[in-house]
């Protein structure tokens, strides 16, 4: 999808007509961030960190392929305020690739990677232009086609900025062909709050925002845009990417470009009425072997009450571990992070629930409570008070394990 915003009148430079500038707008790369909210994938977290590096290389590849004039990095390039030597080296090597292609980089620092110069092991290449202070400043670059572009922005030097920064930005520079604002923040809160009307009043051609991880267009003329994070790190960050932007005197076109190595998705599995465990595993492996790389939530549908007993919470965890181990052994970049039981139009008898839980509770009140709360969270026992169910779970668990048998004899 491409968005086009038409500005109106055309200006002319002294030496001829103004030409288009093309650039990538990126934000919130979080190069050293782990994937969160997926505890079943903990054993693969270290290897998954390379995904962030792959995404950064894809961004550089895209910039070179599209022959952009510059790349904008609008904050939180790193997740840690003191990125490791290893991550910094990978980042700087890619910047050098852009330098060889004559592509400039304009970068500000956000609330996660707030700027402290002594934390960096390497000198940034000459094509990289940094905002290093919380005070708003402006720098100017000239493109290969001789267009003068002004950039105004600021960086965090601490984890938050509670004051509004939008009021500090100057009005559009009269001696430049285009003026772009870099702003890492949000409309309300402790992260450099701003007002859209204030940004519009500056007369800029484009506002490159960062901080919000979901692609969001706050305004169309001028364009005020969050590109989103290039790679989602939680199941809430589904729509991800960078923006490929083209500015002309008459218009602003921006197109989302998806660069994520792994995306979040869902796989549905309709449980057969007569199911053999071997067949279930074969079916699931076939489904996940056919999907594109990503993180997946497995939705099981139409389980009978007996199947709910058979495929308990503990059994489902075993299945998750098995699927992920097999998929990684087959060198598939596919990860199954959760199994969800769909209960649409399915009623579970209250009488079966204590036995369903007690088969896994091992007479432990803590486990009984955890498993009971899991069922409540998934909508199975919304009609039963947990306080009433747990004692019955305990009683059946103890009975199943033979507790109290000596007293009866």
Average the pLDDT over 122-140 and give the result: 95
Q: Which of 164, 200, 215 is nearest to 185 (CA)?
A: 164
Are 42 and 120 part of one and the same domain? yes
Same domain (yes/no): 253, 307 = no
Of 293, 321, 345, the last residue of a domain is 345
| Residues 79, 64 share a domain | yes
Q: Which of 227, 242, 257 finishes a domain?
A: 257
Q: Are residues 308 and 358 in the same domain?
A: no
Do 153 and 273 lie in one domain? The reply is no
Residues 6+ apart with CB under 8 A from 151: 106, 129, 138, 139, 140, 141, 179, 180, 181, 182
* Per-chain mean pLDDT for the chain: 82
Contact of 118 with 125, CB cutoff 8 Å: no
125 pLDDT band, cuts 50/70/90, is very high
Which helix (H) or strand (E) covers residue 150, if one does? strand 148-153
Instruction: For residues 335 and 373, state if they share a domain.
Output: no
179 and 129 within one domain: yes
- Confirm if 338 and 378 have CB atoms less than 8 A apart: no
Quote the pTM value. Answer: 0.76
Q: Could you report the per-residue pLDDT of 273-316, keeping only the tens digit for each? A: 777 888 888 999 999 988 989 999 999 887 777 777 777 788 88
Number of separate domains in the chain = 3
Question: Given this model, what pLDDT does residue 255 score?
Answer: 93
Between 223 and 381, the more confident residue is 223
Which of the four pLDDT bands, split at 50, 70 and 90, describes residue 206?
A: very high
Pair 213, 280 in one domain: no
Q: Mean pLDDT, to the nearest integer, of 6-28?
A: 65
* Residues 273, 224 share a domain: no
Q: Is residue 209 located within the same domain as residue 351?
A: no
> In the listed set 325, 345, 365, which residue is the last one of a domain according to the structure?
345
Range of 149's domain? Answer: 3-257
Domain containing 248 — which CATH number? 3.60.21.10
């Amino acid at each position: 999808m491409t968005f086009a915003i038409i500005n109106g009148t055309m200006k002319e430079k002294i030496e001829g007509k103004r030409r288009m500038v093309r650039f990538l707008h990126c934000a919130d790369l979080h190069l050293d961030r782990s994937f969160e909210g997926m505890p079943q994938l903990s054993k693969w977290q270290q290897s998954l960190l390379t995904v962030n590096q792959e995404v950064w290389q894809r961004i550089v590849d895209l910039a070179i392929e599209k022959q952009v004039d510059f790349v904008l990095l609008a904050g939180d390039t790193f997740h840690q305020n003191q990125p490791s030597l290893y991550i910094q080296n990978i980042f700087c090597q890619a910047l050098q690739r852009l330098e060889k292609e004559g592509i400039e980089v304009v970068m500000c620092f956000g609330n996660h990677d707030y700027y402290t110069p002594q934390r960096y092991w390497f000198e940034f290449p000459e094509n990289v232009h940094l905002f290093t202070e919380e005070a708003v400043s402006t720098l100017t670059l000239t493109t290969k086609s001789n267009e003068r572009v002004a950039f105004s922005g600021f960086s965090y030097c601490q984890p938050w900025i509670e004051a509004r920064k939008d009021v500090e930005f100057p009005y559009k520079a009269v001696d430049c062909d285009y003026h772009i604002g870099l702003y890492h923040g949000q409309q309300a809160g402790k992260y450099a709050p701003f007002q859209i009307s204030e940004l519009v009043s500056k007369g800029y051609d484009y506002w490159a925002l960062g901080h919000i991880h979901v692609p969001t267009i706050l305004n169309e003329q001028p364009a005020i845009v969050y590109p989103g994070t290039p790679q989602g790190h939680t199941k809430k960050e589904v729509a991800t990417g960078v923006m490929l932007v083209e500015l002309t005197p008459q218009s602003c076109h921006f197109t989302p470009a998806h660069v994520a190595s792994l995306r979040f998705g869902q796989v549905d599995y309709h449980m057969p009425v007569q199911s053999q465990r071997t067949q279930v595993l074969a079916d699931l492996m076939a489904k996940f072997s056919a999907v594109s790389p990503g993180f997946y939530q497995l939705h099981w549908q139409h389980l009978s009450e007996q199947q709910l007993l058979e495929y308990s919470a503990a059994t489902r965890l075993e299945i998750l571990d098995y699927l992920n181990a097999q998929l990684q052994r087959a060198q598939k970049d596919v990860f199954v992070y959760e199994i969800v039981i769909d209960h649409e139009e399915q009623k579970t008898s209250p009488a079966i629930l204590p036995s369903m839980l007690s088969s896994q509770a091992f007479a432990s009140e803590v486990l009984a409570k955890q498993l009971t709360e899991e069922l409540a969270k998934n909508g199975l026992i919304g009609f039963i008070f947990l306080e009433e169910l747990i004692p019955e779970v305990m009683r059946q668990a103890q009975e199943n394990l033979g507790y109290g048998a000596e007293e009866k004899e």
